[in-house]
Chains A and B, each alone.
Chain A
């Protein structure tokens, strides 16, 4: 029993990270139609920045500064991609893949290829029903949840949030009322980047950050987003947490080297499930 519980707790942090990356996918896709394959790299960047800053600045300050930097990087990516002449349906996606691959090189050049690690806010684990949970894991879950709530509020209440939704619903009309599509798209990128960076920074204290893990994270986050129909941040959160649990269970119950494979297989199954559902005449909004 406690083994199961331990698996659940371990899966929460990973699941929250997947969820946040997935929510970023959803936001960017809804507003700009772009699939940002650099989402994972943004989270990894957050972790690397944290590893540098946490020695000099207090924890919270490091987190905020790091997230801000990632937001700026994400915004730059957004501008580069959105303002491009789109020749093929998938050109922006390939651009983001190029950026993601390039960032991997940058990570190694700046930070080397050995894992970076830094201490969590508390090394003291809490004991719950025979299993251990680190405050850091709960922090990540809380951060993801708070981000989700704030984003939902933003989209449903804030004037700017409605403008972003409008840009997604009808770009032509949005332009006519004065909504600048480039500006709005860049905001979507920046917000997704900030949240991904923050989550990466928190997660990096639990699992050492390496330069090549970003694509696996991006794929897992995308799987969560697909579970959310590439539309609903809440469903994406649920999907991400579920994926985290599956991955953690695989690790706990005998297939530790296959963590990545689990996430990837789930993605393919989900995508196939969707296609079959559509073929059968089912409707996906």
Chain B
């Protein structure tokens, strides 16, 4: 019995995680989910937004950034400061915060995107740490360690957005962002970005504009993270520096790692996985038998472990693996024997990291 051609499934897999699904999530969420879950669902959408940005940055232009958490924090604190300290109405503060993040991204990104490989990774990590430090230290502006309270929720026609309406807003934003990112990915810009990412020697063979593409991707990712943070601030109502620790950058990294970095749609799987993990941990923290410090620590431990395990054993991401598993399972049923199992084997060069890469 012939195993059916793979293209069938690839199209199916793509469609399964594409805008169709997001549209469904958007429409059906408030119907199917209990009201307590809607907030979590909204947060998932925001994580997705930031994740999509990082996918474009890392997956396309190949720039490792551990600093998405930092830009999320900038977006969040910008909203907080503009509303609480400067008295701006929240509907103006959110776009303004996104703009602020964009400016910061250009200023920071201009020197940082000149770096390569290891260096940009550590530089962006340093940035994420700096932002948290500043949040802690610029007390008069940010409320310091005690935090910033009293951030109003977004309103639509006078009614504050919360629950179902906030959920819908976030997923609408996520849908727009995802379609935008997919379009960019398919466009000439996307191809140029991938060319920049593939050009490891940095010889700028793509032309002087490679620097521009790198910066564009960096700013795009930062702006998306900032938008996520800004909306997050309106949802939560208060901010404290602990929420923006390295855990957050780890979270975004997991979103794109779990989903695989080749397609922006992979971030959907990642965002759902991460949100599910967070939610499970939050439920765990309700357990009175556990001391208060255990769950946050478990949170951190699990994030770190997931990053390590995925990078170590499934570096292509789980989405491609799931796709192969689906194909393999169906093939097994179709052919009636174990041939499908072969599709599950992860292909790739089995070579320790230190051996030099070779030529035939």
Let me know if chains A and B touch directly in the complex, using CB atoms closer than 8 Å: yes
Q: Give per-residue flags for A75-106: 1 if the beta carbon is below 8 A from chain B beta carbons, else 0.
A: 00000111111111111111101111111111
Instruction: Give which listed residue, A80, A90, A99, A267, contacts B123 with CB less than 8 A.
Output: A267
CB distance from B281 to the nearest CB of A (A): 11
CB distance from B60 to the nearest CB of A (A): 13
From B108, which residue of chain A is reached at the shortest CB distance? A268
The listed residue with most B CB atoms (<10 A of its CB), out of A93, A105, A258, is: A105
With contact pairs A87-B316, A275-B115 given, residues A104 and B355 touching in the complex (Cβ less than 8 Å): no
Complex interface: chain B residues within 8 A of A107 (CB): 297
Q: Does A109 lie within 8 Å of B125, measured CB to CB?
A: no
- Taking the complex as formed, is B3 at the interface, i.e. its CB lies under 8 A from any CB of chain A? no
CB distance from B143 to the nearest CB of A (A): 15
Q: Is the contact region of chain A dominated by helix, strand, or loop, or is it mixed?
A: helix
CB distance from B265 to the nearest CB of A (A): 20
From A104, which residue of chain B is reached at the shortest CB distance? B300
- Taking the complex as formed, is A222 at the interface, i.e. its CB lies under 8 A from any CB of chain B? yes
A-B contact count (CB 8 A): 188
Q: Give per-residue flags for A251-285: 1 if the beta carbon is below 8 A from chain B beta carbons, else 0.
A: 00000011011001101100110110001000000
Q: Does A89 lie within 8 Å of B129, measured CB to CB?
A: no
- Taking the complex as formed, is A212 at the interface, i.e. its CB lies under 8 A from any CB of chain B? yes
Complex interface: chain B residues within 8 A of A112 (CB): 293
CB distance from B351 to the nearest CB of A (A): 7
Q: Does B307 lie within 8 Å of A272, measured CB to CB?
A: no
A212 vs B117: C-alpha distance in the bound complex, in angstroms?
A: 25
Q: Does A219 lie within 8 Å of B297, measured CB to CB?
A: no
Complex interface: chain A residues within 8 A of B122 (CB): 35, 37, 219, 222, 267, 271
- Taking the complex as formed, is B37 at the interface, i.e. its CB lies under 8 A from any CB of chain A? no
Instruction: Of the listed stretches B10-18, B83-91, B130-138, name the one at the interface; the rest are far from the partner chain.
Output: B130-138
- Taking the complex as formed, is A185 at the interface, i.e. its CB lies under 8 A from any CB of chain B? yes
With contact pairs A103-B304, A167-B354, A175-B355 given, residues A271 and B115 touching in the complex (Cβ less than 8 Å): yes
Complex interface: chain A residues within 8 A of B348 (CB): 85, 87
The listed residue with most B CB atoms (<10 A of its CB), out of A91, A226, A268, is: A268
Complex interface: chain B residues within 8 A of A113 (CB): 293, 297
Instruction: Give which listed residue, B137, B305, B355, contacts A257 with CB less than 8 A.
Output: B137
Q: Does B115 lie within 8 Å of A216, measured CB to CB?
A: no
Complex interface: chain B residues within 8 A of A85 (CB): 315, 348-351, 353
- Taking the complex as formed, is B118 at the interface, i.e. its CB lies under 8 A from any CB of chain A? yes
Instruction: Of the listed stretches B174-182, B226-234, B244-252, name the one at the interface; the rest are far from the partner chain.
Output: B244-252
Top 6 nearest A-B pairs by Cβ distance?
A: A105-B301, A102-B304, A98-B307, A98-B308, A101-B304, A108-B297
Q: List chain B positions with a Cβ less than 8 A from chain A.
A: 62, 64, 66, 111-112, 114-115, 117-119, 121-123, 125-127, 129-130, 133-134, 136-137, 200, 245-247, 250, 253, 257, 293-294, 296-309, 311-312, 315-316, 348-356, 358
Q: List chain A positions with a Cβ less than 8 A from chain B.
A: 31-35, 37, 80-95, 97-109, 112-113, 167, 170-172, 175, 181-182, 185, 212, 215-216, 219, 222, 226, 257-258, 260-261, 264-265, 267-268, 271-272, 274-275, 279
